Amino acid sequence: MTTIRDEKTKLTANYVNGLALALFAVGGLASLFSNAYSEHGLTTQVVLASAVCFVASLLLHLLARLILKGLKS
């Protein structure tokens, strides 16, 4: 039987994972594509910022998985 605590845990993990997806899409992919097709092209700063966003997104996703480990079987 699912408890209210378990449901809150799932909602929290889902929220953190949503943040990870948004950071990946907006900070990582969108900035790379928008700069790649601009007149300036890709710069080291843009690539570095995108890499930071990719890593932060991965860390948030792993945090969401860690939160879910708190669920009871």
In angstroms, how far is CA 31 from the centroid of its own chain?
Answer: 15
The whole-number pLDDT of residue 71 equals: 87
Specify the pLDDT at position 72.
73
Angle among Cα 18, 34, 52 to the nearest 5 degrees reads: 50
What residue type is assigned to position 13 of the chain? A
Whole-number pLDDT of residue 73: 67
CB 70 within 8 A of CB 8: no
Q: What is the pLDDT of residues 6-44, one digit of tens each?
A: 999 999 999 999 999 999 999 999 999 999 999 888 999
pTM across the whole model: 0.88
DSSP conformational letter for 38: S
